Every structure is written in C-alpha cells, then in structure tokens.
Amino acid sequence: MANDKPTREQAEAAVRTLLSWAGDDPRREGLLDTPKRVVDAYSDWFSGYGDDPRAYLERTFEEVAGYDELIVLRDIEFESHCEHHMAPIIGKAHVGYLPDGKVIGISKIARVVEAYARRFQVQEKLTAQISDTINEVLQPRGVGVVIEGAHECMTTRGVHKRGVSMITSKMLGTFREDARTRAEFLRFIDVGLGR
Ligand SMILES: [Zn+2]
C-alpha cells in the first residue's frame, strides 16, 4: 500500500470534486452524505489491498494421502474494478489444481480470488495473480485458472456492448503440458456452454 495514503477527509473532498465536475451540486441535500458513502464503499470494494492472499493458502495445508486427482472450484463469483476506468468488472472465476500431496479448504481458493479481485485490476493480471499464488504457495502438479468477466467500462460507455464477456486463462504445470488434464479441467468448468 502507498505510504502517502490520503486522509478520509481528502478522499471525501475528491468525491465532491467529481460530483461538481459531473455537473451537480454536492451541497444539495440528496448528495450531502454521498462522499461519506462512496468512501465507505471504496473501503469495501478495495479491501484486497489490506489482504494477504498467500496467507490463506499457507495456513491451511491438509495432508490427504492418495488423493491425486483434479480438484476444481467453479463459478466463484467476484466483483472487481478495472484500473483504466475504475468501473466494475463482474465475473466468475474457475480454478482447478492437481494436488501433489497437499490440498486446501475450498473456501480458501475463493478467498484468494476475492483478495485479488478487490483491487484495481486488469483481467489478465487477476488471472495470473491467482494462478501464480496457488502455484507458488501450494506447489501442486498443475493449476488452471479461467475467468469470465463483464466489464462495465465496455457495457455502459464506449462501445456499449451488453452481454459481452471476456475470457482469460492461465495454465501452469500439467495443465499447460498435458492436453488431457487441460481438457478435463475445461470440461469440468464447461466454459461458454450456455450457462
Ligand atoms: Zn475499463
């Protein structure tokens, strides 16, 4: 996190500036509490900066003798914000890994997704951060991450294309090297087949 973090009062003043710039009067009654609410919302939307995704994985190793098949968590819903427009990205992440003796509680994977999603992001970076963190901390035989995201900077402005989602993926280890593992993962998550 940046050392020169502005004060809450400065953040609220910045919101008033944007309200004025948009053409409204931040002193009118309906907008008086808006800067406070926006700053509160930012604390929630960007709580990922205060979160350590690696810690979720480090704490929760379990030895499961013998289980060496694919583990997949699909449809992990997330909300993020694009770093280019500060506009929402609403999507789902699908994460799979092939354990090498160690597994983690499934909720921990969702925590990792959330910790990175709750920051300013580009979808490609989000995808890579999730896969790299799982790969480095858990050291599975392979990991695959697929993310589907709808970018509101695209659906509500600019080209105004609704219903478009962007799909990104990152495959490491056996997911990258072995076409059968990759195919099994993609079949499990069923991306783009009318869900
Ligand atoms: Zn954007």
Find the mean pLDDT for residues 57-78: 83
> Which residues are catalytic, by number?
82-85, 123, 151, 153
User: Tell me, what's the pLDDT at 1?
Assistant: 54
Residue % of the chain over a pLDDT of 70: 92
Calculate mean pLDDT across residues 50-75.
Answer: 84
Q: Decide if pLDDT at 122 tops 80.
A: yes
- Ligand 1 centroid–CA 156 distance in Å is 10
Lowest mean pLDDT among 32-46, 78-92, 95-109, 154-168: 154-168
What pLDDT score was predicted for residue 134?
96
Report whether pLDDT(87) > 90: yes
Give the pLDDT confidence of 137-194 residue by residue, as tens digits: 999 999 999 999 999 988 888 777 788 899 999 999 999 999 999 999 999 998 654 4
Among 43-57, 58-72, 78-92, 110-124, the minimum mean pLDDT is found in 58-72
155 CA distance to ligand 1 middle (Å): 10
Cα separation, 93 vs 195, whole angstroms: 14
d(C-alpha 8, C-alpha 27), whole Å:
18
Residue 60 has pLDDT above 70, yes or no: no
> From ligand 1's centre to the CA of 149, what distance in Å?
12
- Output phi, psi for 39, to 5 deg: -65, -40
Confidence band (pLDDT; 50, 70, 90) for 67?
Answer: confident
Among 75, 93, 168, residue whose Cα is nearest residue 124: 168
- What does 42-85 look like in DSSP terms, one character per residue? HHHHTGGGG--HHHHHHTT-EE-TT--S-EEEEEEEEEEEETTT
Position 195 scores a pLDDT of: 47
Question: How would you list the strands of the sheet with 71-82, edge to edge?
Answer: 120-121, 71-82, 88-98, 142-151, 166-173
For all residues of the chain together, what is the average pLDDT?
92
Is 7's pLDDT higher than 80? yes
Ligand 1 mean position, distance from CA 99 (Å): 35
